[in-house]
Chain A
Amino acid sequence: MNVLIVEDEILLAMELSFLIEEVGCVDVGHAMSSTDALAMAADLRPDLALVDVHLQDGPTGIDLARHIASDCGVVALFMTANVKRLPADFAGACGVVGKPYSEHGMKAALRYLDICLRDGRAPGLAPAGLQLAPAWAERWGLGDLPRIA
């Protein structure tokens, strides 16, 4: 799948780029602010956007996720240090990976979401380190199962 990285720490974005390629996905671009991310999402229409909640223009990641979902149908995955602060509906994003994530944890999340987005169904429970949004867990057929393994 094509992945857009929205992260204001450039070294983290560099490492994410490697992880994305290593799981067989494509890094299509990198934005550091909501403004840039909105433009890139509309232009590139990635399958998934990795979105840090705190960006160069402030804590705008949550609103960004809502906009890219409604404006261009791009699915976001949050990356954040404070999972509890996310709204209950996850602003339309499919889930969250808590920071600091491990290499293994992020790769497992990417592989899992690649399958979910491709097949429209989850291959099983989400891997440790990935918490799915309730709406997406339901959509991918995990409705009756706990969101976190």
Chain B
Amino acid sequence: MTTPGFLSPPTRRRAASREGEGAGREDLERALAEKTALLHEIDHRVKNNLQLVSSLLLLQARHAADPVVRQALRAAQARINAVAIVHRRLFQGEDPECFDVAAFLRDMVEDVIGGSGRTDIRVTLDLERTDLPTAQAAPLALLISELLGNAILHGFPDGREGAITVTAAREGDQLRIEIADNGVGVPTTGSTPGIGQTIVKHLCSQLHTDCQVADAGPGVRATVRLPLDGVR
């Protein structure tokens, strides 16, 4: 029988061991909380810095006297904006390792078409809810930005009005993303490929896909197929 207030050695050892475990768990929880806070801080910094980069380009575009320069800077800013769209949604969803393609395409269409000021172009969205790995988000954003930009610029020049349809549909183990317009169609005469075409080609290779461009009679249909690899 022990004296009240006095712990026997075995009891004291068991208590000390439990205390050690408790302290160990507390340390781990604290470390996890610190790391999580750091991740949020980094995410916050990245978003703010993307905003800064975007604003810098816009400010410079405003100061450019030459309209060609102004247009080039705004085109560069539009590409950066595509990457910004990816980051706006990152870490706002449930799983940071994948992104909602349908929501992302809606955002892209809103910014690219809305930002173009072309209220004469109607857009129809037919998007199946799918997720892709986050690593693909930025290159896909840049690719879609080019394809949408091409549809507006080349499909509907000189204020020609029309329609663009954006589709995202699962086909077996692939996701088919299509941007189709009813505009002037593929140019028949060869032209020097601009940086846009180069970007499309390289991004497709990075995403392990290719971009098939077909005559949509009238207009152009650009199709990209991405492997789904077991994601939702």
Q: Which residues on A are within 8 Å of B, measured CB to CB?
A: 9, 11-12, 14-15, 18, 54, 81-84, 98-105, 108, 128-129
Contact = CB atoms under 8 A, between A and B. Distances in A.
B85 A102 contact: yes
A99 B59 contact: no
Given A11-B59, A98-B88, A104 B51 contact: no
Interface of B: 40, 43-44, 47-48, 50-52, 54-56, 58-59, 62, 77, 81, 84-85, 87-88, 91-92, 106-107, 110-111, 114-115
Nearest to A13: B55
A129 B47 contact: no
Contacts of A83: 92
Contacts of B40: 82
Contact of A100 (B50, B62, B91, B115): B50
Contact of B92 (A15, A84, A108): A84
Contacts of B47: 81, 99-100
Contact of A104 (B44, B50, B56, B114): B114
Contacts of A84: 92
A99 B44 CA distance: 9
A103 B55 CA distance: 9
